[in-house]
Amino acid sequence: MPHAYDPTNIFARILRGEIPNKTVVETAHTLAFHDIAPQAPVHVLVIPKGAYVTFDHFAAEASAEELVDFHRVCAQICADLGLSIGSGGPGYRAITNAGGDGGQEVPHYHLHLLGGRPLGRMVERA
Ligand code: AMP
């Protein structure tokens, strides 16, 4: 089934400048900003500027330039915020939710970067 993108979603509105955000990094293809309801001391959302609904949509259809830019921004944030274990940081968690079972609330692909405290189990047991 094709990924139908809803251009009224809140992250599309942020990208159009209709809603403010607390920007962390912005590049030609990617925007990163602080989550409005942080679940950890660090809770940054990284989004592509293109109209992608989920991780798999982005991974399948984004250009190589978009894919590289997105992931380099993620790496820059991990380094800048002192999270990367490669530079002695404490680590972090990168999460993306997709669709109903994934619990996705905003239908524009986004990666949650969480850190600043031990984050516990990844998934609750049912
Ligand atoms: P998800 O459930 O993976 O779709 O996550 C959506 C995330 O977007 C949640 O963590 C919300 O707190 C966050 N969020 C919703 N609206 C805004 C906003 N205007 N600015 C920043 N984060 C937002």
CATH code, residues 10-84+97-107: 3.30.428.10
CB distance 20 to ligand 1 below 6 Å: no
CB distance 103 to ligand 1 below 6 Å: yes
Predicted TM-score (pTM) above 0.95: yes
Rounded to the nearest whole angstrom, what is the distance from the C-alpha of residue 23 to the centroid of ligand 1?
Answer: 14
Positive or negative, the Cα torsion across 44, 49, 54, 58? negative
Helices of type H across the chain: 10-15, 55-61, 64-80, 99-102
In 3D, which of 5, 108, 94 has the Cα closest to residue 54?
108
Q: Whose CA is nearest to atom 13 of ligand 1?
A: 35
Could you give the CA distance from residue 115 to residue 40 in angstroms, rounded to a whole number? Answer: 6
Q: Could you list the pLDDT tens digit for every one of the 126 residues in the chain?
A: 678 999 999 999 999 999 999 999 999 999 999 999 999 999 999 999 999 999 999 999 999 999 999 999 999 999 999 999 999 999 999 999 999 999 999 999 999 999 999 999 988 776
